[in-house]
Structure formats: structure tokens, C-alpha cells
A and B are shown apart, each in its own frame.
Chain A
Amino acid sequence: MQLPVLNDTPSHAEHGAKGGCAASSCGTTENQMDTLPDSIREKVQNHPCYSEDAHHYFARMHVAVAPACNIQCHYCNRKYDCANESRPGVVSELLTPDQAVKKTMAVAANIPQMTVLGIAGPGDPLANPERTFETFRRLSQEAPDIKLCVSTNGLALPDAVEELSKHNIDHVTITINCVDPEVGAKIYPWIFWKNKRIKGIKGAKILIEQQQKGLEMLIAKGILVKVNSVMIPGVNDQHLAEVSKVVKSKGAFLHNVMPLIAEAEHGTFYGVMGQRGPTPDELQDLQDSCSGDMNMMRHCRQCRADAVGMLGEDRGDEFTLDKIEDMEIDYSAAMEKRKVIHQAIQAEMDSKRLEKAEKARQHKQEPKLNTRPVLMAVATSGQGVINMHFGHAKEFLIYEASPDGVRFISHRKADQYCGGDSTCGDGETTLQITIRALAGCEAVLCSKVGYEPWEQLEAAGIAPNGEHAMEPIEEAVLAVYKEMAAAGKLDVIPEAIRASAS
């Protein structure tokens, strides 16, 4: 079944039939980074938010120093800071630049694989220039081994480019949801601009102009730009392929299309008005349709403005203000240790990359299968291997196996934002929620699966598989795919599967 909103784009069944896919991450040989110039790869190889490969090994953190915002987005509500919620714009403690520097160094010393410090809110970093730049200025001096990056709505970006380039910030993310003011007016109710609140199309037009101007200025300075877009069905979903083309033509190197998060309890316009987010299929179709033009990011976890740790985990609780107060950090000693650990991780990544390339070369020499693509879920805690127990996984990585190879598609959360099925919801068990989250997958690979989930997974048509523990993800997925092919499970016409999954 073709989804009506995306009828000009190839479905993934067609990808398989054509024997190739436009995505740069397609196939076991190539990953997202392989098609980039060396100069860019060098810059992003240890940045978990910019490199799919790196996110299995390196961690990041955000410091919440930027509370003010200069625009309103319909998916954001500045009122709430629930500790159990994980979405952008949410934080527990606002930090001063001084506290942020201290926290960053404490995390860097205790989580040496933390390579990146970002400022992403909870408002807009560039609407808080003094707090943001004070933090960057001090960190670039006191913790020179940490990469600095910033995420912005773009309104104040043109005025900030000069200052950003001074602080050695070579990664900037701009959230661009549209290039058409009429679409923009449905996403941004107002902006604050030149001492006035400007509503509707007029405000959206100014925001779009500033975003595009800022993007061009950053590229001219040689700063890497990632573009984030929130996919809002019925609002900008059909428009984002155009956004992708435009930002690529201006030099952005990565496009991250994220699903809208909208629940009534968040109190956002979209949440209260019942605007739905995209289904995983819709998101994937849009990412695939953009991928012909653009390098797509698919591993974003839409993390909080105070997140700490590997993507998908949050260790913020270990580094609250009162806890870091008591920590004595010798940063020069920490930096030595970090250097050694980073080198070891890099060596491991490099050897795995070579191994992967070799396996892929072998795979290419084998006779090509004529089977349909399959989605599989993987439980991992990092290092690019299957190393997590089914029941412990808070999220699953979704891979697509096809005759062309294996490619990473997305992640899916196994637990709900507010965590407790006893206090909210309709009494669905965590297991049932997890199984529902895996809809469309035909196998789940993990280090172990218990007896109860095993039966329920099988009943849901998802084959549990614990036979590939500690094996590299892509290899294991490919092995399972081949077993399925050999067992004659992949001869069904793809349309039927697609229709039943969506």
C-alpha cells in the first residue's frame, strides 16, 4: 500500500525491486559517513549526533543554560519540566554558565566517552546570547578536548554567526520545519522580532528568511550544519522533501527528520488540538524520499535540553547540582585519561569498519537473493553489538534487511514517557507496549529473551532470537535474514506485508 501523502516517493518494496537504494546508509558496506568527504568525516567521527556509527560508542550532554525563547512553536510548551518526560524543551534544573562549566567537566571526567557538549535550550540558545556564549567561551578554554555545538531555531542566527565562529563551534543545528511562510504559520503562532510580537504568515516569513540567511552564513564560515525538521502529518509532511532539497543545495550536510511528539498532557497546541504524530512507516517513507537528495540522520533520540550520556540513555540524575558540588575534578588528569580512551574507541571503530567492509564484499560476491525486505529490531547498549536482554531494553534499533544488505532505519522506544503503566494508560503491560512498539518487525535480536515474552512475541508474529549475542549488529541481522530466506519465509509479496503493517 502506498501512503497517500507520499505517493511521489518510492516505497521500500520498490527499493528492493530496483536493486538499489538512494540512501547513503544503504547496504552493509556503506554507512552514513562513508559518502562524506574526509574533512567532514574527521569532524563528526566521534560526534554521536552527527554520525550513526559514533552513536554506538560516544556520549553527549546538553547543559540547560538558555531558558528564554524568541518564538513559539506549536509542539512546545514552556510550562512543564517533568523529570519522566524526554523531549526537547524539557529540563529539571536551569544552570548558570558557571554551573554548566562545572557540570560539563564533572561529566567529562566520569563518562570519558562523552565527547560533545551541546546547548539546546530549554529555550533558544541564541535568544540567550550572554549565557550561551559565556558557557562556550569558558569551556573552549578550560576543557579544550570537548566538542561544542549548538542548536537553534535560527531567528537570531545571522547575528550570532561571528561569535559562534570565534568559540570554535563547528557544529550547528538549525530546526527548519518549512521554507514556505504559509506552512510556517501553521507551526509558529508568533515570533518576537524587533521589539514586537509578530503573528501568522508575517512572523513565519521573517523566521524562514533568518534561518536561510543563517544557514548560508554558517556554510560560508565553514561551519558544519545539520538541519532538524519535525514531521507534522497534514502540516509539513509533503513539504519536507522540498526543505531537504533547499538546505542541501545551500550546503547543510545532514538532515534529521524527527517525528512530532504531541500528547494532550504536554499542554502544547498540537497535543491539545489532537494533532497526531507520524507512524514509523510514514516517517521512514519520508526519510527515504529525502535520502535521494540528502544525507539523512535516523538515529536521533529527540533528547531533553539537559540530557547526559549515550543517546537513548539519560544519566542526568548522577550529575545534579548538589552532586557536582561535592565532586573534585582534576581536569588535566581527566583529559589524559579521556585521550587514551578515545584513541582505544577510535581504533575499535576503525577495525570494525574494516571488518564490516570485508563482510560486505563477501556478501556482494554471493548470489543475490530475490526476496522481500524485512524489518528487525535489535537490543543493544552500544559498541555496535547485540548485547542487551530483551526485558532490559528501553529502546530497540530497527534495521532493514534486503537483498542489497542491511541498513539502519530508526529507533523505537519500548517504554512510555511517563514510565508507569500502573498510574496511567489503560492497564496495558510494559510487555504489551513493547510488542506494540515493534509492529512491522518480523524478528527481534537480543542477548536473551525470557519465556513469557518469547511466547507473546511469537504470537505477535515477531520471531525472538537470542542466538547472536555479542555479534556485530549488521552481521547478525544479515544472518537471520538469510535463515529466513532459506526457510522460504520471504516469498510473500511485499505489498501485503506493507499493508498489514501500516
Chain B
Amino acid sequence: MAVKIIESCVNCFACEPVCPSNAIYEAKPHFLVDAKKCTECEGDFPVFQCASICPIEGAILDSFGLAINPPGSLTGIPPEKMAEAMAELQSH
């Protein structure tokens, strides 16, 4: 049982101090979770602390490999709208 930080992490440090198990550490090219230490906050908090402060959708996965903050959940930008804007930019 452990969460995982993936490559979309922007290294903002926000998660590191809020982890109750000190499982998160600075690494290259992005922060990582020590799976042996991660408790998924069980016994400490009802919600994942790292994923509750992380500003990047999709950067933290649960133990099933699913994004705890799926696209659109944090920014409020509907994913299709984001895709549209990015396609528009790339066409230039």
C-alpha cells in the first residue's frame, strides 16, 4: 500500500512537509515516495495528505495506479476544453 509520484510532478515541495510518515523525498527528476514508509495516511488522516495539497492533476497515483486527482478536478478546466486549447496552440 503506497501512493506513487509520477513524472508530471513539478517539484514544488508542497507534499514533502505534509506527509505524516516522512515517506516523500526530493529526487531527480522529481520527488518520490518511499513505498516502504508510505502508510497512505492510515491512522493519521482520513485523506491522502500529499494528494490534498498537490497542485498537479494526475501527478500522484493510488495503489491501484489511478490518479487521485483526475484531470479537471483541481483546476476546474474541463479536460476537453484543455485539449482544445492545446490543439489550437500546436496548430500555430
Contacts and interface: CB of A to CB of B under 8 A. Distances in A.
A77 B45 CA distance: 28
Q: How large is the interface on A (under 10, 10 to 19, 20 to 34, 35 or more residues)?
A: 20 to 34
A213 interface: no
B13 interface: yes
B56 A272 contact: no
Contact of B92 (A68, A267, A424): A424
Contacts of A67: 11-14
A192 interface: yes
Given A269-B75, A272-B81, A272-B82, A196 B47 contact: yes
Contacts of A424: 92
A403 to B, nearest CB: 47
A189 B75 contact: yes
Contacts of A267: 82, 85
A78 B14 CA distance: 12
Interface in A84-136: 94, 123, 127-128
Contacts of B81: 272-273
Interface residues of B, number: 24
Contacts of B63: none
A65 to B, nearest CB: 10
Interface in B24-78: 45, 47, 49, 52-53, 55-56, 74-77
B10 interface: yes
Nearest to A268: B75
A67 B76 CA distance: 22
A189 B2 CA distance: 27
B52 A195 contact: yes
A82 to B, nearest CB: 13
B23 interface: no
A383 B42 CA distance: 61
Contact of B77 (A78, A123, A272): A272
A269 B52 contact: no
B71 to A, nearest CB: 12
A190 B73 CA distance: 10
A32 B74 CA distance: 40
A72 B73 CA distance: 12
Contact of B76 (A74, A195, A271): A74
Contact of B52 (A68, A74, A189, A196): A196
Interface string A185-199: 000011010011100
Given A70-B53, A197-B52, A273 B14 contact: no
B56 to A, nearest CB: 7
Contact of B10 (A74, A79, A127): A79
Nearest to A124: B14
B76 A189 contact: yes
A78 B55 contact: yes
B82 A78 contact: no
A69 B77 contact: no
Contacts of A94: 11
A190 to B, nearest CB: 7
A265 interface: yes
A264 interface: yes
A80 to B, nearest CB: 9
Contacts of A264: 85, 88-89
A460 to B, nearest CB: 27
Contacts of A268: 75
A197 B18 CA distance: 12
A267 B83 CA distance: 10
A123 B14 contact: yes
B52 A70 contact: no
B47 to A, nearest CB: 6
A271 B75 CA distance: 12
A70 B13 CA distance: 11
Contacts of A69: 12, 14, 55
Interface of A: 67-70, 72, 74, 77-79, 94, 123, 127-128, 189-190, 192, 195-197, 264-265, 267-269, 271-273, 424
8 contacts: A67-B13, A68-B53, A78-B56, A195-B47, A197-B53, A264-B88, A267-B85, A272-B82
3 closest A-B pairs by CB: A68-B14, A192-B53, A197-B52
Interface of B: 10-14, 17-18, 45, 47, 49, 52-53, 55-56, 74-77, 81-82, 85, 88-89, 92
